[in-house]
A and B are shown apart, each in its own frame.
Chain A
Amino acid sequence: MLEIKNLHVSVDGREILKGIDLVVPTGEVHAIMGPNGSGKSTLSYTIAGRDGYEVTAGEILFKGEDIVGMSADERAAKGVFLAFQYPMEIPGVATMTFLKTALNAQRKARGEGEMSTPDFMRLVREKSALLKVTQDMLKRPLNVGFSGGEKKRNEVLQMALLEPSLCVLDETDSGLDIDALKVVSEGVNALRSPDRSMIVITHYQRLLDHIVPDVIHVLSKGRIVKTGGKELAHELEAKGYADFVEDAA
């Protein structure tokens, strides 16, 4: 599904990612853990195609195709999805309008017809129930005045509606209490499928008790310094990042 080779990324002329190699096979869930500032969000933005994240070397193969030169909307239409660490608030755009515009834009890019309003409403109702996203939230301007938990549930709702092949979740657990964490994790787990891969980025092991990964990578100072199974999370929890960071140094 995703194959990242020797990826170097600079932001404002400063190198943040310094040679990442990462392979996420179809159907697998990989976690990326690392201390603050290690480059987790930079990696997720680079995969999603944000302007200003300059790939100075390496490639990102998605379903075998290099997507480095593609715009963010092209990547999205091909099946890349980023759940933001800090979802944007957009006053004046109703959440429902946004969801419909996004879904139809992707369908159009794939040469499919627009979804009718009744079909769309039915789909949204079905997907939002699982994530406890209320009708009232859907009517409000996108993320405006949403609590931290509501914003994250809204991110996962978008993921459920758009049905991407690759989901990158950037610290989806940050700012969530335990109940909200459960709702969000259930939503994510419901989307696990043999056809879909996920990269779950987190600072804490807690999330990985709920979304159990197949593989864990540790990111430090723009490099992957360790890769292992799910037990790595507990090791990290017990010892802290310091050991790994030093191992790499």
Chain B
Amino acid sequence: MAAPSTVRRTPAEDALIERFGAVRAELPGSAEVAGWREAAFERFAEAGLPHRRVEAWKYTDLKRLMASAAPVAAPVADLSGVAAMDLLAGVERHRLVFVNGRFAPALSDAGLPEGVAVTTIAEALGAGDKAVADALAAASAPIAEDAAVALNTAFLSDGAVIRIAAAAAVATPIEIANVFAGAEAGAATLRHLVVLGADASADVIETFAGPDLAYETNALTALDLGLGARLGYTRLQAEGGSALHLGTVSARIAASANLQLFNLMIGAAVARAQVFFAFEGEGGNLDIRGATLGDDRQHADVTLMVDHAVPHCTSTETLKAVLGGEARAVFQGNILVRQHAQHTDARMMLNALLRSETAEFDAKPELEIYADDVQCAHGATSGALDENLLFYLLSRGIPRAEAEELLIVAFLGQVLQEIPNETVAAAVSGLVESWLAARRGTK
């Protein structure tokens, strides 16, 4: 174990060190995998939890926000309660369900759409599958310095490897459901890999749900798009209200590939979704949209790192937050346009709607531009609902709560309406509307 850092360790850091000691021998994988788990944990233990002086985690001080760390989640025998935690009930999709960090075949759909192959990570690592182990290592190598990534590498227990064959057009969305269940808080650590061959096209939805327990989810999803591939990736974070959610998306796309990413944040007490994105060929297109809804004392951080390393790529980021109570939303967006990335078109817009005086919105849009022939723009706004518009709705007999919700849904429309697949988009709008309705009258 590493020597203690100069800063005194927090109870959560102590608990994480204890957790690793307790489970390191049982985690799946070969000696090589165990080696990189050790190295990752070493790195984490050395630096400790990120805090406000770590620039990338400036607004999400985990040393302060993470009071304790739960032990690795125990498996649940009774899965009957899990069905109720389906965020997309009624939507036609192919489901892969993970409960407490383990694949649950009984809850997952058997049979796969044509052109899709799925392996689970625990099984592959258990069988000594070198290709999967290498792919897992490659997914985190460029971002290994990040604390959430290091913890993910150390503890990952299971996940899905989804491979879409070249030129396959998968019509039915594939859902990776990350569910927490049971009555005991625990920690689930998952890593998923989604790989699309050249010219393949698919929609993948990742969902996060659980009960009102202080459980922890650390999930890293790596997206790898081949030449000309198209992926709609919709991420719905609706964890239980006391949970800690650390989510990482690491994406690389080849020339002429197209990634449309939607990120919803409505759950958890403390949540961070960080996206590390790299263009690896010309003509790539990235569209990130997101909606964060926060109330009470929720803390939700969305951090985007977009690397324009090659010319002729476009990226747009449109993030919206609706905050009440003492909720706090963080939007950090860093767009790096490297010297050779001429003809880059990059646009970022961050907007927040504040429903209380005590809600807080921290926006840090950053453009780092080293190329000279580019189109880049960014902006951030925050404000309250427009009283003039509200009065118009009230004057037609629409009660205030309903009128506010109508305006909020309108505010979010720009991001909600663009979710790939109409039935999924409708289901997400439904999630947002019920989230708002559940908080009616508490303002």
Kindly report which residue of chain A lies nearest to residue B386, judged by CB atoms: A88
A109–B392 touching, CB < 8 Å: no
B410–A76 touching, CB < 8 Å: no
Cβ of B397: which chain A residues have Cβ within 8 Å of it? 73, 76-77, 102, 105-106, 109, 162
Cβ of B410: which chain A residues have Cβ within 8 Å of it? 90-93, 141
Assess whether B398 is interfacial by the CB under 8 Å rule.
Answer: yes
Cβ of A105: which chain B residues have Cβ within 8 Å of it? 396-399, 402
Number of A-B pairs whose CB atoms are under 8 Å?
A: 72
| B residues 405-425 touching A (CB-CB < 8 Å) | 406-407, 409-411, 413-414
Most chain A CB atoms below 10 A, which of B394, B407, B414: B394
Q: Which label, helix, strand, loop or mixed, suits the secondary structure of the B interface? A: helix
A101–B395 touching, CB < 8 Å: no
B387–A51 touching, CB < 8 Å: yes
Distance from A208 Cβ to chain B, minimum over Cβ atoms (Å): 24
CA distance A82 to B396 in the complex (A): 8
Assess whether A202 is interfacial by the CB under 8 Å rule.
Answer: no
Cβ of A109: which chain B residues have Cβ within 8 Å of it? 397, 399
B392–A87 touching, CB < 8 Å: yes
Most chain A CB atoms below 10 A, which of B388, B398, B414: B398
B395–A82 touching, CB < 8 Å: yes
Assess whether A84 is interfacial by the CB under 8 Å rule.
Answer: yes
- Chain A 86-108, CB within 8 Å of chain B: the 1/0 string? 01101111000010011001100
Given contacts A91-B410, A92-B411, contact A73 B387 (CB under 8 A): no
Distance from B189 Cβ to chain A, minimum over Cβ atoms (Å): 39
- Range of interface residues on A (Cβ < 8 Å): 20 to 34
- Range of interface residues on B (Cβ < 8 Å): 20 to 34
B398–A50 touching, CB < 8 Å: no
Distance from A164 Cβ to chain B, minimum over Cβ atoms (Å): 9
Cβ of B391: which chain A residues have Cβ within 8 Å of it? 50-51, 72
Cβ of B402: which chain A residues have Cβ within 8 Å of it? 101, 105
A90–B392 touching, CB < 8 Å: yes
A71, A77, A90: which contacts B407 (Cβ < 8 A)?
A90
Cβ of A76: which chain B residues have Cβ within 8 Å of it? 394-397
Kindly report which residue of chain A lies nearest to residue B402, judged by CB atoms: A105
CA distance A75 to B290 in the complex (A): 38
B394–A73 touching, CB < 8 Å: yes
Assess whether B400 is interfacial by the CB under 8 Å rule.
Answer: yes
A71, A84, A91: which contacts B394 (Cβ < 8 A)?
A71
A88–B394 touching, CB < 8 Å: no
Given contacts A51-B387, A93-B410, A105-B402, contact A88 B396 (CB under 8 A): no
Cβ of B392: which chain A residues have Cβ within 8 Å of it? 84, 87-88, 90
Distance from A192 Cβ to chain B, minimum over Cβ atoms (Å): 21
Kindly report which residue of chain A lies nearest to residue B388, judged by CB atoms: A88
B388, B395, B406, B414: which contacts A72 (Cβ < 8 A)?
B395
Assess whether A48 is interfacial by the CB under 8 Å rule.
Answer: yes
Known: A73-B403, A87-B392, A91-B413. 10 other contacts (CB 8 A): A48-B395, A51-B387, A76-B394, A76-B395, A84-B392, A90-B410, A92-B409, A93-B409, A102-B396, A105-B397
Query: Chain B residues in contact with chain A, CB under 8 A?
Result: 387-389, 391-400, 402-403, 406-407, 409-411, 413-414
Query: Chain A residues in contact with chain B, CB under 8 A?
Result: 48-51, 71-73, 76-77, 81-82, 84, 87-88, 90-93, 98, 101-102, 105-106, 109, 141, 158, 162
